[in-house]
Amino acid sequence: MEKAIAFAEILNEVIFLHKNSFLKFISCFVRIRTLFNI
């Protein structure tokens, strides 16, 4: 459940920041991978 909430927050951040900076998008993607240990 906590992971789902964290994922939703990160996803929201990705959508918001995607327009501003591709690097921020990458960093969010890395955080998602770290969260789920992919």
The one-letter amino acid at 28 = C
Residues with Cβ within 8 Å of 7's Cβ and at least 6 positions away in sequence, in order, are 32, 35, 36
pLDDT at residue 17 in the model? 60
| pLDDT-above-70 percentage for the chain | 79
Domain hosting residue 6, numbered range? 2-36
Predicted confidence (pLDDT) at residue 8 exceeds the cutoff of 60: yes
Q: What is the pLDDT of residues 11-24, one digit of tens each?
A: 887 777 656 676 77
How far apart are alpha carbons 13 and 19 in whole angstroms? 11
Number of domains present in the structure of the chain: 1
User: What is the per-residue DSSP string for 1-38?
Assistant: -HHHHHHHHHHHHHHHHTTT-HHHHHHHHHHHHHHHT-
- Structural contact between residues 38 and 29, judged by C-beta atoms closer than 8 angstroms: no
